[in-house]
Structure 1
Amino acid sequence: IGTFHTSCALPEGSATDMTEKDILNNGSFHVNHHNEDSRDNNVYDDETGNDVDTRIETNNGQLSKDVITDDIVRRKAFRWCQDSIGGAWLDLQSENKLKISPVGGGMSNYLYLVSLPDGMTPVRSEPTEVLLRIYGQISKSTLDFLVHNSVVFALLAERKLGPKPYGMYHDGRIEEFIQARPLLPEDLRKPEIMGMVAEKLAQFHALDMPLCKKPRWFKSLLRGWIKDIQNNLELNKSVFATLLKMAPSFDLETEFHELLADARRLNCPIVF
């Protein structure tokens, strides 16, 4: 079971009734990984479109230090783009000159479209807009995350299976912005589109990536989820009182071992 999640997208403004032939001929079917291995922590003001401070409450009601503010986003975007892209980005005198807007579709990463101000043109061939990704809580979950994430991202880009990287940092990166939209549920019900998704997924499964070939990810993932559930139930008993009353007979350990036994019986190959 691979640990790298992909999402599929159609070009901006595409009709959802495009045929498989239309999409392939136009080169307009993208597989991107703007949604990798995470959960959506982004909170935005619905009226203004501006990002609101994202805070995680602890069990005693206090705000944690995991806060992403507009100032933080601007500082990172300004510094990273100047350091890693150069060109016209170096001519910016202030971080406030950047055009920044939130991008939906992430899962635990904070995603933003960062653009040069109107009227500025590239000095060479540098991009005028990029995707800014600030890692969320998932980056703190394992020491291997940053290494594996960066290596996989770079290799997929080199093989033309993902966006081009422009700069990588311990708490995020800047990458090529692909003008596209995520597939909607009604798109996924169309056999011609799902056929393309299956073909792309097969391409990923066929890759030989420098990752662990032992079937340990599934076990580690489930064990982590069980631990999170147990910790949350213990720390937030009042919040989860209703859940505890509804499901007093949950035996997660037994189900965990049954799932592992089922997985072993399937004897599936380990793929990316």
Structure 2
Amino acid sequence: MNDIEQLFTNNPLNSEDILQKVIELGIEYLGEEWKNVDKSQITVTKIIGGQSNHMFHVSSSSSATPYLLRIHKQGQSQFFTDVVNFAIFSERGLGPKLYGFFDGGRMEEFLPSKTLKPEDVINPEISRKIGAAFPLYHSIKVPVSKSRRCFQIMKESLKGYIDLGGREYPIFPTKVSYSDHPMTISPEDLLKEIKLMERWSMELYENRLVFCHNDLTCSNILQLNSNNEIMFIDWEFASYNCRGYDLAMHLSESAIIRTASPCGIEINEAFTDDPPNLRPFCEAYVDYENLLKNRTSANRDLEVENLIEECQFFWPITHLFWACLIMKLGRIECNKGIDMDIMARDRLAVYYHLKPRSQEIYEKLKFSK
């Protein structure tokens, strides 16, 4: 834990030390306007929702510019990635303005907004806005590795699970009702599943490599108060990846609700099997991508169907990704109070339930080539 995280974790937000610190940051990165601000004028409010960082809204009763203070909890490499990505999006008007960054965090523009909830992202109107926002982000060129990180992280997570003593993994009992899965799976067989999905995705979608958010849950989507437009935030896990993986990650997570229950999540099986936001989302993506590239679709309906199929193909892969990561995290007990095993078992059950559909898509597209 770095110094600034310790400061904000161990002290009340109205403490002298914290008030002095936010004034110092204001002066350093926003200039003279913060020089005459008195501690009695300042309000520091914690913003709920950040999983990989602490967020605070810093404002005053003076005319000094308010700001959002983001203190990172993740490792140095993710912090660096997040800052680079944030700076790129900020410069292009695709995110809040970056006021400055420092060891352990950054200061950014505070945008009055609403963080979306699970019920919001399945609303057809909002889903269309999210779908229309994706192509612009996907079109950005970022100077980072072009390797497909999702499969690499799965393999690294599985290795971590083994290194921490993990062996044969039970996929029973689960909270979901799906039963079309093995009762247990060995790390060796799980690695075969990862490699199989990697091969299939490369064969079908090798040319669909784009810069991806990789973690676009509803909590990482803002709806701005000023114009109701959609903005994506929290890019610390961003990398180049298969386009369909990024879209499927958002769609699959919109069928999941974070809860205070022992397993931490509830998977909506009806939305998993028949997502109500899939078609409007894909229609908006296709329409805006064509607009962005200044092209007229020769067959819009076919483009939409192909994108739906692409999302469906990658859908189980997102659950396989989370299962591998959660299995490793469960070995180090990083989330006390959450039963990581139930969470991983549910993810694996969904993976095996949806895998036949991906196989059907693979065989259909391979046969048609």
| Normalised TM-score (structure 1) | 0.59
Structure 2 CA distance for aligned equivalents of residues 114 and 74 of structure 1? 9
Deviation of 1:160 (Å): 0.9
Change (3 A) 1:156 1:232: same
Contact 2:29 2:99 in 1 (8 A): yes
Aligned match of 1:132 = 69
Aligned match of 2:190 = 255
Change (3 A) 1:180 1:256: farther
% identity of equivalent residues: 24
The reply on whether 1:149 has 2:75 as its aligned counterpart is: no
Secondary structure in 2 matching 1:255:
helix
The reply on whether 1:220 has 2:159 as its aligned counterpart is: no
When the two chains are superposed, the root-mean-square deviation of aligned CA atoms in Å is 3.1
Q: Deviations over 1:156-191 (max 9, x none)?
A: 011111010111012000101110111122211211
Change (3 A) 1:259 1:177: same
Aligned match of 1:69 = 10
Structure 2 CA distance for aligned equivalents of residues 256 and 111 of structure 1? 37
Aligned match of 2:133 = 200
Structure 1 stretches of 5 or more lacking a match?
1-53, 55-64, 235-242
Higher relative contact order (CA 8 A, sep 6+): 1
Contact 1:146 1:170 in 2 (8 A): no
Deviation of 1:228 (Å): 5.4
Match of 2:44 among 100, 104, 108: 100
Aligned match of 1:183 = 116
Change (3 A) 1:91 1:224: farther
Q: Deviations over 1:75-104 (max 9, x none)?
A: 54333222111222121354x652101101
Q: Hey, which of these two has a bigger chunk of helix by percent?
A: 2
Change (3 A) 1:82 1:253: farther
Structure 2 CA distance for aligned equivalents of residues 66 and 261 of structure 1? 47
Structure 2 CA distance for aligned equivalents of residues 154 and 171 of structure 1? 16
Secondary structure in 2 matching 1:149:
helix
Structure 1 CA distance for aligned equivalents of residues 161 and 190 of structure 2? 14
Moved more, 76-85 or 107-116: 76-85
Secondary structure in 2 matching 1:77:
helix
Deviation of 1:219 (Å): 3.0
Q: Deviations over 1:47-80 (max 9, x none)?
A: xxxxxxx9xxxxxxxxxx8982236754543332
Alignment-mate amino acid for residue 205 of structure 1? H
Structure 1 CA distance for aligned equivalents of residues 196 and 21 of structure 2? 46
Secondary structure in 1 matching 2:144:
coil
Alignment-mate amino acid for residue 89 of structure 1? W
